[in-house]
Amino acid sequence: MPFKKQSSQPNIDAGIGLIYRLNALWNKADFAALEGDMEKWNFVLDTIYRNLLYRNNLDIKYETDAKGKVVNIISVDLVMEDKLIHEWFRKRIREIKVLKLESIKKRNKANYYKALEDLYYIMGQKDSWLRKFMQERGLYLKEVDFNPANAMWGG
């Protein structure tokens, strides 16, 4: 049965649902950060990241036959810039966690606390990057909207 292209528009702006979902996730991220739960904070940030990728195209590589017809998908990946930044954070967080575990094994308190500080710092950077990523997509409310015509009404 051939695929039928359907055109349906939701009754309300789908962006509102996304914004509510993102706000709920940011709330969880902030609480995890305040509690010092680095694992939970990282998982929530990754969930926020996935939610922010909805507009981005994927980099899909296809295998074709001699006639140029697509016969198989070779790979599906994120676009390069998004992938590189996210992978950098993943790699750096993994390295710090390894240092933390090594310091526990060696009972080196100084290195352990340094690893905790480094992990907190890199998680803060990841958090900030995702907030900017969200802002670039226009999903944050406007910080300032100055319009002289609205000055009388607090605009």
pLDDT at 86 over 60: yes
For residues 145 and 97, which has the higher predicted lDDT (pLDDT)? 97
Tokens matching residue 66: 């001699």
For residues 123 and 20, which has the higher predicted lDDT (pLDDT)? 123
pTM: predicted TM-score of the whole model, two decimal places: 0.74
For residues 81 and 93, which has the higher predicted lDDT (pLDDT)? 93
Rounded CA separation 45/41 (Å): 6
Rounded CA separation 32/66 (Å): 53
**Helices marked H in 8-108 — which ranges?**
14-35, 38-52, 80-105
For residues 78 and 10, which has the higher predicted lDDT (pLDDT)? 78
pLDDT at residue number 81: 77
pLDDT at 87 over 60: yes
pLDDT at 22 over 80: yes
pLDDT at residue number 3: 45
